[in-house]
Amino acid sequence: MSTSLRSGYHHGDLRASLLTTAMRMLEAGEPFSLRAVAREAGVSPTAPYRHFADRDALESALAAQGLRDLKADLPEGRQLPSVPADLGDFAVAYVEFALRRPALFRLMFENSCDEGSEERVRAAAEIHDLLRVGMDRVFPGSDVEALASAEWGLAHGLASLHLDGKLVAESGDDVADHVRAAFAAIMSVDG
């Protein structure tokens, strides 16, 4: 192998390096293309095509990583929900993720899910499964599928409203209080 090839290719895991670079560029608000990511990662302009057919494939991989990161944040430091108030805590974690990583959050949900990306489909399904398990623990014997969708919808709506400046809060604590209050209000409505 020539010296130039060895110095040009220095990544033990090219795919991971490209994703890390693309994630950094996305979250820094830098426009990115496969060429720009390759340049930032220090690899040839054609190297990304070994792992991603096009920019859409790269974005799907970023969205899948974001979904996995979100899934890890939901139960972090807490037990799975067992009472209705716990659902508000899950929603707070969801909204906090959106506010902490807005560019990634938008990428994850504003682009349609590429059904051809098994990785992205699986990551989205794992979050939905986590929500179903939580709903089944809080409301055993109920329609957990509908409840999981409703919880996700409410949390996502609150996250989007906060991101878009439609709901204004002075601090992260105010956001958390608002999200918990919204969930408490929904959970206290008699059906």
* Under 8 Å between Cβ of 39 and 120: no
Residues 108-157 pLDDT 10s: 988 666 677 788 999 999 999 999 999 999 999 999 999 999 999 999 99
Mean predicted confidence (pLDDT) in 99-112: 90
Question: Whole-prediction pTM value?
Answer: 0.87
**Given pLDDT bands bounded at 50, 70 and 90, which one contains residue 3?**
very low
Residues 6-57 pLDDT 10s: 344 455 789 999 999 999 999 999 988 999 999 999 999 999 999 999 999 9
DSSP secondary structure of the chain: --HHHHHH---SSHHHHHHHHHHHHHHTT----HHHHHHHHTS-TTGGGGT-SSHHHHHHHHHHHHHHHHHHHSSTTSPPP-SHHHHHHHHHHHHHHHHHSHHHHHHHHHSPP-TT-HHHHHHHHHHHHHHHHHHHHHSTTS-HHHHHHHHHHHHHHHHHHHHTTSS--SSHHHHHHHHHHHHHHHHHS--
